[in-house]
Amino acid sequence: MKARSLVVGLLTGAACAVAAVAGATPAGADVTPFIVGGNDADQEYSWMVSLQEGGNHFCGGSLISPEWVLTAAHCVQGSSADSISARIGSNDRTSGGEEAQAAEVVVHPDYTGTGAGGDIALVKLSAPAKSAPISLGTTTDAGTKTRLLGWGQTCPERGGCDAPVQLQQLDTQVVEADKCTGIDGSVELCTDNPGGDAGACYGDSGGPQIVGSAGKYELIGVTSRTGNGDPTCATGPSIYTSAPAYSDWISQNVG
């Protein structure tokens, strides 16, 4: 299978993103990150999605309507919808929740694979999911408390450990854009690495950055890439595509 390029944004510059893998290397790119320094999720998130190819996790995503999943462009660019499936609403990427087949992939037209911005995409499901979706948020100012979710690597060195089966979560915050390198602060969020050693990693790409509390979460970010160009995870802030910044494009496609 072609390995998808969802690295933590280190290997091919700004285009690389916090890759997603979980037990296999799917198509088109380097795939291997998990949340470093996080913990097993303490609750279930009905809208959390594991995008899979051949039964293997390659990227995260968020169910934003019964028929649409929001993820990173680098996760699905160049991929056929026929090759993508989704497991929705389970903390275990290998079982449980709801399974669905992709029917269409829509990559943002600004995404080039190099440079900042446009690292966002939509995956349409072949049939509406029964799971409850998450709404888009609006608060993205520096200092906003957020939570990261994903099945990316839990060790910082690329390929140094297997992806976790159980969903990981990490509480952190949005910081000033100038703390990240190669970022477009108008459409991307610089996200802190607590303690200097915790954050998104290979395999977390496309997954959500959320605000709020249990039962009232909103989606503000999509895992994109490292914020300091270091291939070792969590040595600096991470860059997330701002979902609110692309709300018009999302609405035009989702309806």
- The residues carrying an active-site annotation are 74, 119, 205
Looking from the CA of 182 toward its CB, the CA atoms found within 13 Å total 23
Q: Are 60 and 204 contacting, i.e. CB atoms less than 8 angstroms apart?
A: yes
- Please calculate the CA angle 110-115-140 and round it to the nearest 5 degrees: 75
C-alpha–C-alpha distance, residues 231 and 37, integer Å: 16
Q: Containing H/E element for 250? A: helix 247-254
178 burial via Cβ count (<10 Å: 0-12, 13-18, 19+)? exposed
